[in-house]
Structure 1
Amino acid sequence: MTTTPASPALMNSVFTTEDKEKFRTLRITHLAAKFEELIIDESNDHLTPEQIFLAAVDDALDQRRVKNIQKLLLAAQLPIMRASIAEIHYQEGRNITPARMARYAAHDWANETANLLITSPTGGGKTYIACAIAVAACHNEHKVFYTRMDELARRLVIARGDGIAHQALLNRLSDADLLIIDDFLTVGIDPEAANDLFAILANREHRAATMIASQTGPAYWASALPDRIAADSIVNRLANNARTINLGDIDMRRHQGEQTRAAPGYWE
Structure 2
Amino acid sequence: MLNNQTLEKLISMKLSAMGKEYRRQLESPDTVALRFEERLGMLVDAEWTSRNNSRLTKLLRLANLRIQGACLEDLDYDPRRKLDRAYVARLADCSWINEHRNLIITGLTGTGKTYLACAFGNSACRRGLKTKYYRVNRLLTDLAIGRGDGSYNRMMRELKKTDLLILDDWGMAILDPVSGRDLLEVVEDRFGYRSTVISGQLPVREWHGLFEDSTIADAVLDRLVHNSYRFELSGPSKRNPNEP
TM-score for both structures, normalised by structure 2: 0.90
Asked if residue 200 in structure 1 is aligned to residue 191 in structure 2, the reply is no
1:138 to 115, 122, 125: 125
Question: For 1:114 and 1:196, how far apart are their aligned partners in 2?
Answer: 21
1:243 to 214, 229, 233: 229
Change (3 A) 1:57 1:189: same
**What is the RMSD of the two structures over their aligned residues, measured on CA atoms?**
2.1
User: 1:71 corresponds to which residue?
Assistant: 58
Change (3 A) 1:76 1:59: same
Deviates more, 1:228-237 or 1:135-144: 135-144
Any unmatched runs of 5+ in structure 2? none
User: 1:86 corresponds to which residue?
Assistant: 73
| Aligned-residue offset at 1:219 | 3.1
1:154 to 133, 138, 141: 141
Task: Note if contact 2:104-2:199 (Cα within 8 Å) is conserved in structure 1.
Answer: yes
Q: Secondary structure at the match of 2:95?
A: coil
| Aligned-residue offset at 1:84 | 2.6
User: 1:27 corresponds to which residue?
Assistant: 14
| Aligned-residue offset at 1:186 | 1.1
Task: Note if contact 1:109-1:137 (Cα within 8 Å) is conserved in structure 2.
Answer: no
Task: Note if contact 1:109-1:178 (Cα within 8 Å) is conserved in structure 2.
Answer: no
Amino acid paired to 1:223: G
- After TM superposition, the structure 1 = structure 2 runs for residues 1-268 of structure 1, keeping only pairs within 5 Å, are 14-16=3-5, 19-108=6-95, 110-163=97-150, 165-254=151-240, 256-259=241-244
1:15-45 CA-partner distances (Å, limit 9, x unpaired): 23xx555434421232233123224422122
User: 1:8 corresponds to which residue?
Assistant: none
1:164-185 CA-partner distances (Å, limit 9, x unpaired): x111211222221111001112
1:228-247 CA-partner distances (Å, limit 9, x unpaired): 22211100111002100001
Amino acid paired to 1:258: E
| Aligned-residue offset at 1:113 | 1.7
Q: Secondary structure at the match of 1:251?
A: coil
Task: Note if contact 1:153-1:189 (Cα within 8 Å) is conserved in structure 2.
Answer: no
Question: For 1:110 and 1:129, how far apart are their aligned partners in 2?
Answer: 15
Task: Note if contact 1:189-1:226 (Cα within 8 Å) is conserved in structure 2.
Answer: yes
Figure out how many residues of one structure are paired with residues of the other and give that number. 244
Aligned-residue sequence identity (percent) comes to 30
User: 1:4 corresponds to which residue?
Assistant: none
Q: Secondary structure at the match of 1:45?
A: helix
Deviates more, 1:244-253 or 1:153-162: 244-253
Q: Secondary structure at the match of 1:197?
A: helix
Question: For 1:175 and 1:123, how far apart are their aligned partners in 2?
Answer: 31
- Which segments of structure 1 move beyond 6 Å, counting only runs of 4 or more? none
Question: For 2:22 and 2:11, how far apart are their aligned partners in 1?
Answer: 15
Task: Note if contact 2:111-2:237 (Cα within 8 Å) is conserved in structure 1.
Answer: yes
Task: Note if contact 2:96-2:102 (Cα within 8 Å) is conserved in structure 1.
Answer: no
Task: Note if contact 1:178-1:211 (Cα within 8 Å) is conserved in structure 2.
Answer: yes
User: 1:6 corresponds to which residue?
Assistant: none
Task: Note if contact 1:38-1:56 (Cα within 8 Å) is conserved in structure 2.
Answer: no
Question: For 1:208 and 1:160, how far apart are their aligned partners in 2?
Answer: 23
TM-score for both structures, normalised by structure 1: 0.83
Change (3 A) 1:70 1:199: same
